[in-house]
Amino acid sequence: MKVEIFKKRHEHHTMRPTRQIALSFLAVILIGTILLSLPICNKSTPTTFLNNLFIATSATCVTGLVPVTTSEQFNYLGQLIIIVLIQIGGLGFLTFLNLLLIMIKKKISLTNKIVLQEALNQPSLNAIPKFLKNVIKYTFIVEGIGAILLLFVFVPEYGVLKGIYFAVFHAISAFCNAGFDVLGNNSLIGYQTNIIINLVIPGLIIMGGLGFIVWFDVMETIKKEYKKPSKFNYRHLFKSFSLHTKIVLIMTSILLFIGMILFYLCEFYNPDTIGKLNFFDQLQVSFFQSTTLRTAGFASVDIASLYPYTKFMMCIIMFIGGSPAGTAGGIKTVTFAISILMVYNIYHGRKEVAVFSRRIPKRLIIRSFAIITIGISLAFISIFILSISENAPFIDIMFEAVSAFATVGLSASLTPSLTGIGKIIIIILMYIGRIGPITLIISFARRSYINAGKKEVQYTDGNILLG
């Protein structure tokens, strides 16, 4: 009640939370663009302003699409700015800003708590400070472990200092689902059969893509189960998870498995990708590519050499993306799950959408279909414009557009040859994909949820035909 009163009082004096989220990302992008344009950040002549805007947007929106080779264009300072943009973009600028307030022992204002509640998808305002600290702690612990494991790959090859730098850079990039690398033009193709790379990078991608809420729920539930005197039971453990966690874990597992199998079936006889590898390595690469479709953007095969139907299959999985309140993009696994459940319940003639003995509220169903509709509309419009502006195969154009919207970062070698119009379209797609289409619409809509309590005119029902 206090929150609602506060919102109404400050309706005309404070910026709505969703707009603050959208503008905070925009501010970071612009600052990053200016910094990357400085000569001291480049190995030679700085690239164009549009290219730097493209790269800053890609880093902040944790995408990974770049019109130039990162390691060739930028020196260590420029690369450091990119990795900072990735870390800020992965967790959100407002998260870091409010963490700073906590560190200097300053209380987070109610306004900032409301903004963070929207940004982090939290149901309670009181839990925001603790949740914020856990997010940062969890992030640096996981990234640190990932970096230590990657040392065993990069240090023997590049030496101690460069090996440590490469390990830290790629651990942060993987956890934030960014897909940036500093290895050259071939991403991780040179390590496609390396067992450590094929375990650590996908592991970081999955943990970042699941969402912080899921990991905290899993850890808290496991702690409670271990404290019980009865024998530890995995089935009971799963039942103890929240509904959100159950849906995320199931959908993520299904999509990872289906993506791996489909990629293997599509490409196992393609000599330019995995056709020449043994069966175990084919499965390794297939799993890696299935995982990177969770909006990560690393590649262990030449994407341009994939068969067209493989690219189309990957577009579908990329569009779904990762899970809410994490570092991934796309329409999100939960959104897709709700749409499937809706169709399933319509088929069975049920009036309510229910799963695991819980009813899904109608507002979430409406929001889910709105996200899917907006996402598909944006993809169609962008593909249409890119088809006019770019001289490239249609499947590569579609792949680029979906990859940008879902903040995946995979490209069939189209990004470097994009026209000015093409780059602007991809920049817009990356930005909308990161903050979310619903967030963008609410941010700049004439009315917000603050006004939702006002009475609206109630009309009589009208009958129309569907299907």
Express each pLDDT in 274-293 by its tens digit: 999 999 999 999 999 999 99
Q: Is 408 exposed, middle or buried (0-12, 13-18, 19+ CB in 10 A)?
A: buried
Query: Does residue 455 have a pLDDT over 70?
Result: no
Position 2 confidence tier, pLDDT thresholds 50, 70, 90: very low
Lowest mean pLDDT among 5-9, 61-65, 419-423: 5-9
Q: Domain map of the chain by residue range? A: 11-342+348-444
Longest alpha-carbon distance in the chain: 73
Tell me which DSSP letter residue 74 carries. B
One-letter amino acid of 76: Y
**Region for 295 from its dihedrals, namely left if φ exceeds 0, alpha if ψ lies in -120 to 50, beta otherwise:** left
Considering only CA atoms, give the Rg of the chain: 22
Cα(155)–Cα(167) distance, rounded to whole angstroms? 8
Q: What is the mean pLDDT of the chain?
A: 84
Q: Which residue has the tokens 């730098």?
A: 165
Q: Which residue has the tokens 């707009």?
A: 19
Who wins on pLDDT, 373 or 117?
Answer: 373
The per-residue pLDDT for 322 is: 85
Per-residue model confidence as pLDDT tens digits over 207-263:
888 888 888 888 888 887 777 766 666 777 788 888 889 999 999 999 999 999 999
The per-residue pLDDT for 445 is: 57
The per-residue pLDDT for 427 is: 96
Per-residue model confidence as pLDDT tens digits over 394-411:
999 999 999 999 999 999
Cα(19)–Cα(12) distance, rounded to whole angstroms? 14
Measured CA to CA in angstroms, residue 300 lies from 106, 197, 217, 292, 401 at distances of 46, 10, 32, 9, 21
The per-residue pLDDT for 467 is: 66
Average pLDDT over residues 170-191: 90
- Cβ atoms of residues 120 and 128 within 8 Å: yes
Q: Is 388 exposed, middle or buried (0-12, 13-18, 19+ CB in 10 A)?
A: exposed
The per-residue pLDDT for 422 is: 96
Position 12 confidence tier, pLDDT thresholds 50, 70, 90: very low
Q: Is 5 exposed, middle or buried (0-12, 13-18, 19+ CB in 10 A)?
A: exposed
Query: Does residue 312 have a pLDDT over 80?
Result: yes
Collect all residues with Cβ–Cβ distance below 8 Å to 316 and sequence separation of at least 6: none
